Amino acid sequence: MTDIGEKLEIKQRLDRALKWLEEEPTETASTAAEMFNVNAASIRSCQLRQRKQVRNTQGTFNGHGGNTIILPKAPEQAVCRFYHEQWEMGIAATPAIIFAAISHLRKAEQLDPPSQVWFQ
């Protein structure tokens, strides 16, 4: 088993190999793997991940999953505050009420409401 320092060194070599390949677009992953002593499959996987990375509706990259961000931060926090206030008053905000609030906020921004599948 490798220790943390060794893993960090491998990651640094992989990063250098990827940077070198960006600067030398005619070179192959196999060549970079030999030069920087890393696995060619790791280089190709990183390149594929970079190509498939897509910006979501807020202009940022999702770390995982699809583009499921429905509300920007401020409206999302408003919905959370509303739910918490209802809970503090002893009134249970049902899923239907929360869905209606999210749909209303989306409509105010002239966007389509989220699907029931997304909400579940």
pLDDT tier for residue 60 given thresholds of 50, 70 and 90 = low
Q: What is the pLDDT of residues 79-98, one digit of tens each?
A: 888 888 888 888 878 888 88
* Cα 67 off chain centre by: 8
pLDDT tier for residue 56 given thresholds of 50, 70 and 90 = low
Q: Which residues pair with 55 in a beta bridge?
A: 61
Task: Kindly list the distances between the CA atom of residue 15 and the CA atoms of 37, 41, 44, 60, 62, in Å, as whole numbers in the listed order.
Answer: 12, 14, 12, 22, 21
Tell me which residue of 106, 105, 102 sits closest to 120, measured CA to CA. 102
All structural domains of the chain with their residue ranges: 4-52, 73-119
Give the integer Cα–Cα distance in Å for 13 and 3: 16
